[in-house]
C-alpha cells in the first residue's frame, strides 16, 4: 500500500504541473475562440486519444469478465462529465476577465471545499480543515485588495471581478468532482471512466458553443497550440492520471497535492504571459497556499479502496 500511495502522490503532482501550465493555454485560447468551443474541442481531443486504447481493451476482453465500459461505469462517467462540464465552463468563462495566476489560485480553493462535501461520503472534517479555511479567507481578502485598480476603493471585495467569482464557483464544482472521482474510481476501469466523462463534456460544450458562440474554423486554427496542449496533456493525460491515482489516495489528500496547480499556474503566468503580481497579491497567494496545506495536517480518512477491502460502506 505504501508503494501504491507513493505512486499515486507522484502522479497527482504531475497532474498539478500539467494543470498549472494549462491555465496559460486557457488564457491564450480566449483570444481566438469562445470558452465553450475551446472546451468542446479539447475534451473531444482527449476522448479521441483514449478511444484506440479503450477499443483495444474491449477487443482483448475475456468473455467471462465484465466489460470495462459497463453500464455502471458509463453512468458514473456521464455524471462526472456533467459536473466537469459545469466546472470547466465556469472556469473558462471566468478566465476571460481575470488573470491566469489569479484563476489558478482561486480554483485551488477546492482543496478546502473537498472535506465539507466529503462528509456525505463518511469523511471527517478536522481542526486542520477549519484552520485552513480561516487562512484561505484571509488570503482571498488580501488577493482582492491587491487586485483593486483604484486604491481608494480597496475594500473587502473591491479587487474581485466577475471572472473571479465565476472561478470561485468552479472551485466548488471541482471539489464535488474530486469527491465523486474518489467514490467511483476504485470500482471502475480508469480509462473507460475517463473516456465517458470526456465524451460527455465534449458533447455538452459543443452544443452550447453552437447555440451561443460565433465560432469559426479560423478561430480554432488560430488557437491550435493551446487546443493541442490542453487536449493532450490537461485532458487526456492529467485527468486520466487523476482517476488512476485516486484509487489509492483519499479525496482530501489528493486535493492538496493537485492544488499545487495554483503554484504552477502562477509561475507559468508570470514566466510565459508576463503577468505581474502585486505585493498584496503575492502575500495573499502565500497565505492561501498555507491554508491549503494546513487543511491537510490531520488527514484521518482512508481511501475508498481500503474501505471496500474492509467491507465498510462507501
Place of cell 484563476: 103
Contact present, 42 and 33 (Cβ < 8 Å): no
pLDDT the model gives residue 151: 45
**Domain annotation covers residue 62:** no
Average pLDDT over all residues of the chain: 79
Rounded to an integer, what distance in angstroms lies between the CA atom of residue 152 and that of residue 157? 13
pLDDT the model gives residue 273: 67
Confidence label for 278 from pLDDT (cuts 50, 70 and 90): confident
pLDDT the model gives residue 308: 40
pLDDT digits (tens, 9 = 90+) for 12-40: 889 988 988 877 777 777 778 888 999 99
pLDDT digits (tens, 9 = 90+) for 69-85: 888 999 999 999 999 99
pLDDT the model gives residue 149: 47
**Domain annotation covers residue 123:** yes
Backbone angles phi, psi at 296, to 5 degrees: -105, 10
Task: Indicate the SS3 state at residue 43.
Answer: helix
Q: pLDDT higher for 138 or 269?
A: 138
Q: What is the mean pLDDT of residues 150-160?
A: 46
**Domain annotation covers residue 63:** no
Q: pLDDT higher for 150 or 263?
A: 263
The answer to whether residue 294 scores a pLDDT higher than 50 is yes
Dihedral sign (CA 307, 309, 312, 314): positive
What CA–CA distances, in Å, run from 69 to 2, 20, 43, 199?
29, 30, 18, 13
pTM (2 d.p.): 0.78
Range in 55-59, 128-132, 223-227 with the lowest mean pLDDT? 128-132
Could you list the beta-strand ranges (E) of the chain: none
Q: How many residues does the chain have?
A: 314
159-189 burial: b if 16+ Cβ within 10 Å, else e: bbbebbbbbbbbbbbbbbbbbbbbbbbbbbb
pLDDT above 90: percentage of residues in the chain: 26
Contact present, 197 and 10 (Cβ < 8 Å): no
pLDDT the model gives residue 100: 65
**Domain annotation covers residue 61:** no
Q: pLDDT higher for 202 or 59?
A: 202
**Domain annotation covers residue 140:** yes
pLDDT the model gives residue 309: 43
The domain of 21 spans 2-56+69-309
**Domain annotation covers residue 314:** no
Rounded to an integer, what distance in angstroms lies between the CA atom of residue 26 and that of residue 169? 17
Range in 115-119, 147-151, 225-229, 285-289 with the lowest mean pLDDT? 147-151
Q: What is the mean pLDDT of residues 38-50?
A: 94
Q: How many structural domains is the chain composed of?
A: 1
Report which secondary-structure segment, H or E, holds 204.
helix 190-212
pLDDT the model gives residue 186: 86
pLDDT the model gives residue 155: 42
pLDDT digits (tens, 9 = 90+) for 157-207: 456 778 888 888 999 999 999 999 988 988 889 999 999 999 999 999 999
Confidence label for 43 from pLDDT (cuts 50, 70 and 90): very high
Q: Which of 188, 182, 184 is nearest to 255 (CA)?
A: 182
- Residue 220: CB atoms within 10 A of its CB come to 17
- Residue 39: CB atoms within 10 A of its CB come to 29
**Domain annotation covers residue 131:** yes
Contacts of 62 (CB under 8 A, 6+ apart): none
What CA–CA distances, in Å, run from 168 to 162, 171, 192, 251, 306?
10, 5, 29, 19, 32
pLDDT the model gives residue 206: 94
Rounded to an integer, what distance in angstroms lies between the CA atom of residue 70 and that of residue 247? 18
**Domain annotation covers residue 286:** yes
Rounded to an integer, what distance in angstroms lies between the CA atom of residue 139 and that of residue 143? 6
pLDDT the model gives residue 304: 43
C-alpha cell at 96: 476571460
Place of cell 461520503: 121
The answer to whether residue 213 scores a pLDDT higher than 60 is yes
Q: Which of 51, 43, 91 is nearest to 68 (CA)?
A: 51
pLDDT the model gives residue 6: 80
3-state helix, strand, coil in the chain (%, to 5): 80, 0, 20
Amino acid at each position: 500500500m505504501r508503494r501504491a500511495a507513493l505512486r499515486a502522490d507522484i502522479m497527482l503532482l504531475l497532474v498539478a504541473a500539467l494543470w498549472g501550465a494549462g491555465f496559460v493555454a486557457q488564457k491564450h485560447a480566449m483570444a481566438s475562440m469562445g470558452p465553450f468551443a475551446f472546451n468542446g474541442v479539447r475534451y473531444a481531443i482527449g476522448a479521441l486519444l483514449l478511444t484506440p486504447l479503450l477499443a483495444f481493451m474491449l477487443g482483448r476482453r475475456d468473455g467471462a469478465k465484465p466489460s470495462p465500459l459497463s453500464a455502471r461505469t458509463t453512468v458514473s462517467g456521464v455524471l462526472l462529465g456533467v459536473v466537469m462540464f459545469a466546472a470547466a465552463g465556469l472556469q473558462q468563462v471566468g478566465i476571460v476577465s481575470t488573470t491566469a495566476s489569479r484563476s489558478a489560485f482561486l480554483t485551488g480553493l477546492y482543496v478546502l471545499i473537498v472535506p465539507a462535501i466529503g462528509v456525505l461520503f463518511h469523511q471527517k472534517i478536522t481542526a486542520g480543515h477549519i484552520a485552513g479555511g480561516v487562512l484561505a479567507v484571509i488570503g482571498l481578502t488580501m488577493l482582492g485588495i491587491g487586485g483593486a485598480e483604484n486604491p481608494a476603493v480597496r475594500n473587502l471585495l473591491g479587487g474581485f471581478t466577475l471572472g473571479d467569482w465565476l472561478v470561485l464557483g468552479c472551485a466548488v464544482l471541482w471539489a464535488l468532482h474530486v469527491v465523486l472521482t474518489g467514490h467511483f474510481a476504485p470500482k471502475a476501469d480508469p480509462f473507460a471512466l475517463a473516456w465517458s466523462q470526456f465524451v460527455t463534456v465534449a458533447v455538452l460544450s459543443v452544443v452550447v458553443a453552437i447555440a451561443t458562440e460565433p465560432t469559426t474554423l479560423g478561430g480554432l486554427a488560430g488557437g491550435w497550440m493551446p487546443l493541442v496542449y490542453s487536449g493532450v496533456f490537461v485532458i487526456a493525460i492529467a485527468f486520466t492520471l487523476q482517476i488512476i491515482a485516486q484509487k489509492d489516495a483519499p479525496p482530501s489528500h489528493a486535493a492538496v497535492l493537485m492544488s499545487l496547480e495554483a503554484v504552477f499556474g502562477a509561475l507559468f503566468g508570470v514566466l510565459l504571459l508576463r503577468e505581474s503580481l502585486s505585493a498584496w497579491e503575492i502575500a495573499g497567494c502565500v497565505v492561501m497556499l498555507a491554508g491549503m496545506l494546513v487543511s491537510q495536517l490531520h488527514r484521518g480518512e482512508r481511501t475508498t479502496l481500503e474501505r471496500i477491502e474492509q467491507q465498510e460502506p462507501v
